[in-house]
Amino acid sequence: MKEVYNPYGKYGLKRVINAATCLTRLGGSRPHPDVFKAMEDASRAFIQIPALQAWAGEKIAAATGAEAGLPTAGAVNALTLAAAACMMKGTELERYDPLGPSAPPHIIQRLPMHTEGLKTEFVVQKSDRNTYDHAVECAGGRIVEAGTPEGTTVEELEAAYNPDITAAFYFTVRGSKKGLPLDTFMEVAHRNGVPVIVDAAPDLRPKKILTHYIEKGVDLIVYSGGKHLGGPNNTGILAGRKDLVKLAHLQAYPFDGIGRGAKMSRETIVGLVVALEKYLEKDDEALFKAWEKKAMWIAGQLSDIPGLNAGVTYEYTVEEREPMTPLAYVTLDEEAGMETKDLHARLKEGDPIIETLYEPSFLIDDYQGKLTINPEHMLEGDEALVVERIKEILTQ
């Protein structure tokens, strides 16, 4: 194995070759150098954080087509703030403004415990349940499931709605394909006068996805800033109706509501905006072709190994089923002397660690039994290291 660039070597740590996807546990994405230049510049002086958030919110609103936007400390924090906004609708908090006098504690600090008189239920399709639902509960909300793991009918969705206590309907873009589609889900919610929150955290390829959900009429949309957007790993975006985004802002840092502990420094707010600008400048077609060429090269280099089957497949957009990321894939048969899942595990044992994806997940659910190699976040030359390691493991 040839010498590998490793900025963490001086700390005694292994670098990871990210052949998986944008994963929070791997640090998200690799932001454009201009993001860090802007962050360094922002670090040199001070600013009123609510004013900076409002400026960033205007940039987010313009990019998403929403009435308003808010930078958040990750997508999970955006979900918590979205839930809080829907719960605080109709309360005294609506009389306050993020750029005006602060709301008193007895108004702003009702969540998550003091929810008497508030609408606190969030209707979710049972087939869409995932670990990030906890963000709603962190705000003091309660999940109400509609349907079964096998799917939901319109009648079941209607039955889950309670006019006295339903705060919002909550939809996960990367959820199961067994549930009702977003359009139907949203039609039921809006017919009952209830807002719809959509978690589209990792769903930002191609660029048109950024405006897609607002154009469909979603009330609040959540995106990750630290994944395909290319911002700092600890950033997120909340966009949607102006009245709800304002309530979310009042619950966020630097105010004393439910989001007080999820701070965003002035540097990360500025970094997120610059990342958004760079994202909008991307050439989706050119990037796709470059990734596809690399995926084909990887598959070609591995195709002559006994017992190994290699090829190229694609990750698709959720609603239109358009190809958005080309992936090299590998499967092993008996001649290889090990199972595909074992190769996946062995790749993580070396130096550098090689992270791939194996088995369906909420990010990739069409590739049962395949080890997928994503070229999107590899450094130059990483593809050769991945090929070399696979050959080394199988020849051993």
Tokens coding 25: 């546990």
- Where along the chain do its domains lie? 9-27+283-395, 33-281
Residue whose C-alpha is closest to residue 122's, from 145, 88, 91: 145
Tokens coding 307: 């017992």
Residue whose C-alpha is closest to residue 72's, from 269, 236, 290, 262: 236
Does domain 9-27+283-395 match CATH 3.20.20.140? Answer: no
What pLDDT sits at residue 359?
A: 67
What pLDDT sits at residue 41?
A: 98
What pLDDT sits at residue 249?
A: 98
Provide the sign of the torsion angle of the four alpha carbons 322, 60, 197, 361, taken in this order: positive
pLDDT by residue, tens only, the chain of 396 residues = 456 789 999 999 999 999 999 999 999 999 999 999 999 999 999 999 999 999 999 999 999 999 999 999 999 999 999 999 999 999 999 999 999 999 999 999 999 999 999 999 999 999 999 999 999 999 999 999 999 999 999 999 999 999 999 999 999 988 767 899 999 999 999 999 999 999 999 888 888 899 999 999 999 999 999 999 999 999 999 999 999 999 999 999 999 999 999 999 999 999 999 999 999 999 999 999 999 999 999 999 999 999 999 999 998 776 666 788 999 999 999 888 899 999 999 999 999 999 999 964 444 445 668 999 999 999 999 999 999 999 999 988
| Strand ranges in 130-243 using DSSP code E only, listed in sequence order | 142-146, 166-172, 196-199, 220-224, 236-240
Provide the sign of the torsion angle of the four alpha carbons 274, 277, 279, 281, taken in this order: negative
Q: 330, 309 in Cβ contact below 8 A?
A: yes
Q: 373, 314 in Cβ contact below 8 A?
A: no
- Say how far apart CA 120 and CA 250 lie, in whole Å: 18
- Say how far apart CA 238 and CA 240 lie, in whole Å: 7
Cα 247–chain centre separation: 22
Stated as kind and residue range, the H or E segment containing 309 is strand 308-316
3-state secondary structure of 122: strand
Write out the DSSP string of 86-104.
HHTTTSGGGG--TTSSPPP
3-state secondary structure of 378: coil
Tokens coding 91: 């309360």
What pLDDT sits at residue 361?
A: 45
What pLDDT sits at residue 363?
A: 43
- Say how far apart CA 186 and CA 189 lie, in whole Å: 5
CA dist 48 to 100, 191, 228, 330, Å? 12, 40, 29, 52
- Say how far apart CA 290 and CA 273 lie, in whole Å: 26
33-281: which CATH architecture?
3-Layer(aba) Sandwich (3.40)
